[in-house]
Amino acid sequence: MSAKRLLFPIIALLLSGTAYAFDAMDRHYIFFPERTLQASPGVAGLTYEEVRFSAADGVSLHGWFLPGKKGKPLLLFAHGNAGNISHRIDNLAHFQKLGLSVFIFDYRGYGISEGQISEQGSYKDMRGALAWLQQRGWKPQQMIYFGRSLGAAVALQLALEKPPDGLVLESAFTSVARMGWHHQPLSYALFGWWALSSRYDNLGKIDQLRCPVLILQGDRDRIVPPKMAQQLFARVSHPKTLYLIPGAGHNDTYNIGGEPYWEQWRDFIKESFPPSAHQGR
Protein backbone atom coordinates (compact mmCIF):
# COMPACT_ATOMS: atom_id res chain seq x y z
CA MET A 1 0.00 0.00 0.00
CA SER A 2 1.81 3.17 -1.22
CA ALA A 3 2.09 5.94 1.36
CA LYS A 4 2.26 8.55 -1.37
CA ARG A 5 -0.94 7.25 -2.88
CA LEU A 6 -2.82 7.08 0.39
CA LEU A 7 -4.17 10.61 -0.09
CA PHE A 8 -7.74 11.80 -0.22
CA PRO A 9 -9.64 13.02 -3.24
CA ILE A 10 -10.96 16.36 -4.29
CA ILE A 11 -13.78 18.01 -2.37
CA ALA A 12 -16.23 17.69 -5.24
CA LEU A 13 -15.97 13.91 -5.17
CA LEU A 14 -16.38 13.81 -1.42
CA LEU A 15 -19.39 16.10 -1.40
CA SER A 16 -21.20 13.99 -3.96
CA GLY A 17 -22.00 11.62 -1.07
CA THR A 18 -22.86 8.71 -3.36
CA ALA A 19 -21.94 5.06 -3.12
CA TYR A 20 -20.25 5.49 -6.49
CA ALA A 21 -18.04 8.20 -5.04
CA PHE A 22 -17.08 5.97 -2.11
CA ASP A 23 -16.22 3.08 -4.43
CA ALA A 24 -14.21 5.45 -6.61
CA MET A 25 -12.32 6.59 -3.51
CA ASP A 26 -11.30 3.03 -2.76
CA ARG A 27 -10.23 2.34 -6.33
CA HIS A 28 -8.07 5.45 -6.47
CA TYR A 29 -6.54 5.37 -3.01
CA ILE A 30 -6.45 1.74 -1.89
CA PHE A 31 -6.42 -0.52 -4.96
CA PHE A 32 -3.87 -0.25 -7.80
CA PRO A 33 -4.55 -3.10 -10.22
CA GLU A 34 -2.73 -3.71 -13.48
CA ARG A 35 -4.50 -5.55 -16.24
CA THR A 36 -1.58 -6.73 -18.38
CA LEU A 37 0.17 -9.93 -17.35
CA GLN A 38 3.89 -9.34 -17.81
CA ALA A 39 4.96 -13.00 -17.78
CA SER A 40 3.97 -16.48 -16.66
CA PRO A 41 5.63 -18.96 -14.27
CA GLY A 42 6.94 -20.79 -17.30
CA VAL A 43 9.58 -18.09 -17.86
CA ALA A 44 11.09 -19.11 -14.52
CA GLY A 45 10.98 -22.79 -15.46
CA LEU A 46 8.05 -23.50 -13.13
CA THR A 47 5.36 -26.08 -13.88
CA TYR A 48 1.92 -24.53 -13.56
CA GLU A 49 -1.71 -24.75 -14.56
CA GLU A 50 -3.82 -21.87 -15.85
CA VAL A 51 -6.99 -21.74 -13.77
CA ARG A 52 -10.34 -20.11 -14.37
CA PHE A 53 -12.68 -20.26 -11.40
CA SER A 54 -15.59 -18.38 -9.87
CA ALA A 55 -15.66 -16.14 -6.84
CA ALA A 56 -18.30 -16.85 -4.22
CA ASP A 57 -20.67 -14.50 -6.05
CA GLY A 58 -19.93 -15.90 -9.51
CA VAL A 59 -17.39 -13.37 -10.81
CA SER A 60 -14.90 -15.07 -13.17
CA LEU A 61 -11.35 -15.03 -11.82
CA HIS A 62 -7.94 -16.15 -13.05
CA GLY A 63 -5.10 -17.82 -11.21
CA TRP A 64 -2.15 -20.19 -11.41
CA PHE A 65 -1.79 -23.52 -9.64
CA LEU A 66 1.77 -24.77 -9.11
CA PRO A 67 2.11 -28.38 -7.90
CA GLY A 68 4.58 -29.11 -5.12
CA LYS A 69 6.07 -32.16 -3.48
CA LYS A 70 3.87 -34.95 -2.17
CA GLY A 71 3.29 -34.65 1.55
CA LYS A 72 3.88 -30.90 1.62
CA PRO A 73 1.12 -28.36 2.37
CA LEU A 74 -0.45 -26.01 -0.13
CA LEU A 75 0.04 -22.26 0.02
CA LEU A 76 -3.04 -20.17 -0.81
CA PHE A 77 -1.47 -16.83 -1.74
CA ALA A 78 -3.36 -13.52 -1.47
CA HIS A 79 -1.19 -10.80 -3.00
CA GLY A 80 -0.97 -7.09 -2.23
CA ASN A 81 -2.93 -4.14 -3.56
CA ALA A 82 -0.83 -3.33 -6.64
CA GLY A 83 0.02 -5.05 -9.92
CA ASN A 84 -1.16 -8.61 -10.53
CA ILE A 85 0.01 -12.20 -10.14
CA SER A 86 2.64 -11.84 -12.86
CA HIS A 87 4.62 -9.55 -10.54
CA ARG A 88 4.98 -12.38 -8.00
CA ILE A 89 6.75 -15.00 -10.13
CA ASP A 90 10.07 -14.67 -8.32
CA ASN A 91 8.26 -15.22 -5.03
CA LEU A 92 6.52 -18.29 -6.45
CA ALA A 93 9.89 -19.76 -7.37
CA HIS A 94 11.07 -19.42 -3.77
CA PHE A 95 7.95 -21.13 -2.44
CA GLN A 96 8.48 -23.97 -4.88
CA LYS A 97 11.96 -24.46 -3.42
CA LEU A 98 10.23 -25.17 -0.11
CA GLY A 99 8.30 -27.96 -1.83
CA LEU A 100 4.95 -26.20 -1.44
CA SER A 101 2.08 -26.40 -3.88
CA VAL A 102 0.90 -22.85 -4.53
CA PHE A 103 -2.37 -21.35 -5.70
CA ILE A 104 -2.14 -17.65 -6.48
CA PHE A 105 -4.96 -15.71 -8.09
CA ASP A 106 -5.91 -12.21 -9.10
CA TYR A 107 -8.70 -10.40 -7.34
CA ARG A 108 -11.57 -9.10 -9.45
CA GLY A 109 -10.37 -6.22 -11.57
CA TYR A 110 -6.73 -7.36 -11.45
CA GLY A 111 -4.96 -9.06 -14.36
CA ILE A 112 -7.49 -10.90 -16.49
CA SER A 113 -9.95 -11.49 -13.67
CA GLU A 114 -13.31 -9.90 -14.37
CA GLY A 115 -15.25 -7.45 -12.21
CA GLN A 116 -14.29 -4.48 -10.09
CA ILE A 117 -12.39 -4.67 -6.82
CA SER A 118 -13.85 -3.89 -3.39
CA GLU A 119 -13.24 -5.08 0.16
CA GLN A 120 -16.20 -7.44 0.19
CA GLY A 121 -15.36 -8.54 -3.34
CA SER A 122 -11.82 -9.51 -2.30
CA TYR A 123 -13.24 -11.69 0.47
CA LYS A 124 -15.58 -13.38 -2.01
CA ASP A 125 -12.64 -13.97 -4.35
CA MET A 126 -10.66 -15.69 -1.60
CA ARG A 127 -13.65 -17.87 -0.74
CA GLY A 128 -13.92 -18.85 -4.38
CA ALA A 129 -10.23 -19.78 -4.47
CA LEU A 130 -10.69 -22.06 -1.47
CA ALA A 131 -13.79 -23.64 -3.02
CA TRP A 132 -11.83 -24.43 -6.19
CA LEU A 133 -9.07 -26.08 -4.16
CA GLN A 134 -11.59 -28.09 -2.17
CA GLN A 135 -13.04 -29.38 -5.42
CA ARG A 136 -9.53 -30.63 -6.19
CA GLY A 137 -9.41 -32.54 -2.90
CA TRP A 138 -7.50 -30.07 -0.75
CA LYS A 139 -8.72 -29.30 2.77
CA PRO A 140 -8.03 -26.13 4.78
CA GLN A 141 -6.18 -28.34 7.27
CA GLN A 142 -3.65 -29.09 4.51
CA MET A 143 -3.06 -25.44 3.72
CA ILE A 144 -1.20 -22.34 4.75
CA TYR A 145 -3.04 -19.13 3.94
CA PHE A 146 -0.51 -16.44 3.05
CA GLY A 147 -1.31 -12.77 2.64
CA ARG A 148 1.03 -9.89 1.95
CA SER A 149 0.06 -6.28 2.74
CA LEU A 150 -3.57 -5.91 1.61
CA GLY A 151 -3.62 -9.66 1.02
CA ALA A 152 -2.97 -10.21 4.72
CA ALA A 153 -6.42 -8.79 5.43
CA VAL A 154 -7.96 -11.09 2.82
CA ALA A 155 -6.15 -14.17 4.16
CA LEU A 156 -7.08 -13.31 7.74
CA GLN A 157 -10.77 -13.07 6.91
CA LEU A 158 -10.78 -16.53 5.31
CA ALA A 159 -8.81 -17.95 8.24
CA LEU A 160 -11.57 -16.78 10.58
CA GLU A 161 -14.21 -18.48 8.43
CA LYS A 162 -12.36 -21.63 7.38
CA PRO A 163 -9.34 -22.09 9.66
CA PRO A 164 -6.23 -23.54 8.00
CA ASP A 165 -3.44 -25.31 9.82
CA GLY A 166 -1.34 -22.18 9.50
CA LEU A 167 -1.60 -18.50 8.57
CA VAL A 168 1.28 -16.25 7.48
CA LEU A 169 0.74 -12.49 7.46
CA GLU A 170 3.43 -10.30 5.92
CA SER A 171 3.59 -6.50 5.99
CA ALA A 172 0.09 -6.49 7.49
CA PHE A 173 -1.57 -3.24 8.55
CA THR A 174 -3.97 -2.93 11.47
CA SER A 175 -6.76 -1.23 9.48
CA VAL A 176 -7.31 1.22 6.63
CA ALA A 177 -8.38 3.79 9.21
CA ARG A 178 -5.14 3.52 11.16
CA MET A 179 -3.13 3.69 7.94
CA GLY A 180 -4.98 6.91 7.12
CA TRP A 181 -4.27 8.39 10.53
CA HIS A 182 -0.61 7.37 10.28
CA HIS A 183 0.12 8.84 6.85
CA GLN A 184 -2.35 11.70 6.44
CA PRO A 185 -3.90 12.51 9.82
CA LEU A 186 -5.43 15.86 8.84
CA SER A 187 -6.86 14.65 5.54
CA TYR A 188 -8.18 11.50 7.14
CA ALA A 189 -9.76 13.42 10.01
CA LEU A 190 -11.54 15.74 7.57
CA PHE A 191 -12.59 13.33 4.85
CA GLY A 192 -11.24 9.81 4.97
CA TRP A 193 -13.07 8.36 7.95
CA TRP A 194 -16.45 8.61 6.21
CA ALA A 195 -15.49 8.63 2.53
CA LEU A 196 -13.68 5.28 2.27
CA SER A 197 -15.93 2.24 2.13
CA SER A 198 -13.11 -0.28 2.72
CA ARG A 199 -12.16 -0.92 6.34
CA TYR A 200 -10.03 -4.08 6.40
CA ASP A 201 -10.06 -3.96 10.21
CA ASN A 202 -7.44 -6.60 10.98
CA LEU A 203 -6.86 -5.40 14.53
CA GLY A 204 -10.54 -5.65 15.34
CA LYS A 205 -10.83 -9.29 14.30
CA ILE A 206 -7.46 -11.01 14.71
CA ASP A 207 -8.22 -11.96 18.33
CA GLN A 208 -10.83 -14.39 16.95
CA LEU A 209 -8.14 -16.37 15.11
CA ARG A 210 -7.99 -20.08 15.92
CA CYS A 211 -4.88 -21.31 14.13
CA PRO A 212 -1.10 -20.85 14.42
CA VAL A 213 0.14 -17.60 12.89
CA LEU A 214 3.49 -16.29 11.69
CA ILE A 215 3.74 -12.51 11.31
CA LEU A 216 6.58 -11.21 9.14
CA GLN A 217 7.43 -7.51 9.02
CA GLY A 218 10.29 -5.41 7.71
CA ASP A 219 11.74 -3.32 10.52
CA ARG A 220 12.33 -0.43 8.08
CA ASP A 221 8.92 -0.51 6.43
CA ARG A 222 7.90 3.10 5.74
CA ILE A 223 4.48 2.17 4.40
CA VAL A 224 3.17 -0.13 7.13
CA PRO A 225 4.95 0.82 10.37
CA PRO A 226 6.43 -2.12 12.29
CA LYS A 227 4.40 -1.18 15.36
CA MET A 228 1.30 -2.40 13.52
CA ALA A 229 2.75 -5.92 13.31
CA GLN A 230 3.46 -5.76 17.03
CA GLN A 231 -0.10 -4.61 17.74
CA LEU A 232 -1.55 -7.47 15.70
CA PHE A 233 0.78 -9.96 17.37
CA ALA A 234 -0.32 -8.82 20.82
CA ARG A 235 -3.95 -9.61 19.99
CA VAL A 236 -3.34 -13.22 18.92
CA SER A 237 -4.06 -15.87 21.55
CA HIS A 238 -3.13 -19.00 19.58
CA PRO A 239 0.45 -20.17 18.88
CA LYS A 240 2.20 -17.24 17.28
CA THR A 241 5.55 -15.98 16.04
CA LEU A 242 6.60 -12.45 15.14
CA TYR A 243 9.73 -11.95 13.07
CA LEU A 244 10.97 -8.42 12.34
CA ILE A 245 13.13 -8.65 9.23
CA PRO A 246 16.34 -6.66 9.76
CA GLY A 247 16.81 -3.92 7.17
CA ALA A 248 13.71 -4.80 5.13
CA GLY A 249 11.12 -2.37 3.86
CA HIS A 250 7.64 -3.07 2.56
CA ASN A 251 8.36 -4.70 -0.80
CA ASP A 252 11.76 -6.34 -0.32
CA THR A 253 11.11 -8.64 2.62
CA TYR A 254 12.45 -11.91 1.28
CA ASN A 255 15.19 -10.31 -0.82
CA ILE A 256 16.62 -8.44 2.16
CA GLY A 257 15.67 -11.11 4.68
CA GLY A 258 17.61 -13.83 2.89
CA GLU A 259 18.19 -17.19 4.54
CA PRO A 260 16.99 -16.14 8.04
CA TYR A 261 13.67 -15.13 6.47
CA TRP A 262 13.22 -18.50 4.80
CA GLU A 263 14.28 -20.27 7.98
CA GLN A 264 11.21 -18.72 9.62
CA TRP A 265 9.08 -20.30 6.91
CA ARG A 266 10.71 -23.70 7.26
CA ASP A 267 10.31 -23.69 11.03
CA PHE A 268 6.66 -22.66 10.77
CA ILE A 269 5.90 -25.38 8.24
CA LYS A 270 7.68 -28.00 10.36
CA GLU A 271 5.83 -27.00 13.53
CA SER A 272 2.39 -26.58 11.96
CA PHE A 273 2.45 -29.48 9.52
CA PRO A 274 3.74 -32.80 10.81
CA PRO A 275 4.30 -35.16 7.85
CA SER A 276 1.57 -37.55 9.00
CA ALA A 277 -1.04 -34.81 8.52
CA HIS A 278 -0.51 -34.82 4.77
CA GLN A 279 -0.30 -38.45 3.83
CA GLY A 280 -2.23 -39.25 0.71
CA ARG A 281 -1.55 -36.04 -1.20
Residue 92 lies in a domain: yes
Residue 256 lies in a domain: yes
What's the pLDDT score for residue 152?
99
CA dihedral 255, 152, 97, 252 (to 10 degrees): -10
Q: How many CB atoms lie within 10 A of CB 126?
A: 28
Q: Is the pTM of this model over 0.85?
A: yes
Residue 1 lies in a domain: no
What's the pLDDT score for residue 179?
85
Residue 154 lies in a domain: yes
Q: How many CB atoms lie within 10 A of CB 117?
A: 23
Give CA–CA dist 69/18, Å, rounded: 50
DSSP 30-43: T-EE--S----GGG
pLDDT along the chain (281 residues), means of 10: 45 43 58 97 98 99 98 98 98 98 99 97 99 98 98 99 98 90 63 64 98 98 97 97 98 98 98 66 53
Residue 266 lies in a domain: yes
- Residues in a beta bridge with 145: 76, 167
What's the pLDDT score for residue 107?
99
What's the pLDDT score for residue 197?
59
Domain of 105, CATH number, reads: 3.40.50.1820
Q: 243 near 215, Cβ under 8 Å?
A: yes
What's the pLDDT score for residue 124?
99
Beta-carbon contacts of residue 172 (< 8 Å; ≥ 6 apart):
147, 149, 152, 153, 156, 202, 215, 217, 224, 228, 229, 232
Residue 281 lies in a domain: no
* Residue 17 Rama label (left phi>0; alpha psi -120 to 50; beta): left
What's the pLDDT score for residue 200?
95
Residue 6 lies in a domain: no
What's the pLDDT score for residue 188?
56
Determine the residue type at 211: C
What's the pLDDT score for residue 178?
84
End-to-end CA separation in angstroms for the chain: 36
Number of domains in the chain: 1
What's the pLDDT score for residue 198?
73
- Containing domain of residue 179, as a range? 11-272
Residue 84 lies in a domain: yes
